């Protein structure tokens, strides 16, 4: 039989330990969210990503990226996916044929806006070989437009156009340079 003093001490220690564990662990969603906001760490991290996007069973684009990091909504900040090592995208026509490509050294996608932003040596090449170069480009998934307010060059193979800002369809078959600042003819 146990001594009543030992039994009381054991019960007191057990209650204290239980109280410690009960108060030490918390699943308060606000506290967890606050901790995540402070760390600013991605919710998901992917390597060698290949994303194939279809709409109504039609292939629309294929994206490849060495790294993708998904960040959830934090307070006033909207969710986004970051591609710190860049992206390569192939756009397809209604028949599933490649119609243009886009690449950039860095990209970020804002899913709530259906917009992508690419920076650093951004290159778009159309089906006919016309090539756009810029340091900053925005791609709107909903309107299927690409645009920029920064300096761009477009090489048609016969001429090189330079300007500030442009807008084009994502197939890069129709485009407009907003403010042409130079034009060079290329001799054969």
CB 91 within 8 A of CB 171: yes
Radius of gyration of the chain (CA): 27
Of the candidate CATH numbers 1.10.10.2840, 3.40.50.20, 2.60.40.10, 2.60.450.10, the domain formed by 43-185 belongs to 2.60.450.10
C-alpha span between 9 and 16 (Å, rounded): 10
Q: Which tens digit of pLDDT belongs to each residue from 53-85?
A: 888 888 888 999 999 999 988 777 899 999 999
Domain locations in the chain as residue ranges: 1-39, 43-185
Residue-wise pLDDT tens digits, 123-140: 999 988 999 999 999 999
Greater model confidence, 151 or 15 = 151
C-alpha 68/C-alpha 62 separation (Å) is 15
Residue 73 near residue 79, CB atoms below 8 Å: yes
What is the Cα–Cα distance from 176 to 163, expressed in whole angstroms?
10
Q: What share of the chain is helix, strand, coil (3-state, %, to 5)?
A: 15, 55, 25
Looking up tokens 């442009």 gives: 166
pTM score of the predicted model: 0.74
């Amino acid at each position: 039989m146990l001594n009543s003093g030992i039994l009381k001490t054991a019960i007191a220690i057990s209650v204290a330990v239980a109280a410690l564990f009960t108060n030490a662990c918390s699943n308060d969603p606000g506290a967890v969210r606050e901790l995540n906001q402070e760390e600013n760490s991605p919710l998901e991290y992917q390597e060698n990503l290949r994303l194939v996007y279809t709409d109504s069973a039609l292939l629309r684009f294929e994206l490849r990226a060495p790294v993708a990091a998904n960040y959830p909504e934090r307070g006033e900040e909207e969710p986004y996916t970051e591609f710190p090592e860049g992206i390569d995208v192939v756009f397809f026509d209604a028949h599933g044929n490649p119609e243009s490509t886009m690449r950039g050294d860095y990209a970020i996608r804002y899913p709530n806006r259906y917009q992508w932003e690419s920076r650093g040596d951004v290159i778009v090449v159309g089906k006919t070989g016309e090539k756009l170069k810029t340091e900053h480009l925005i791609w709107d998934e909903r309107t299927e437009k690409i645009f920029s307010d920064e300096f761009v060059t477009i090489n048609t193979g016969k001429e090189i156009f330079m300007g500030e800002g442009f807008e084009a369809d994502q197939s890069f078959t129709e485009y407009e340079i907003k403010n042409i600042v130079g034009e060079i003819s290329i001799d054969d």
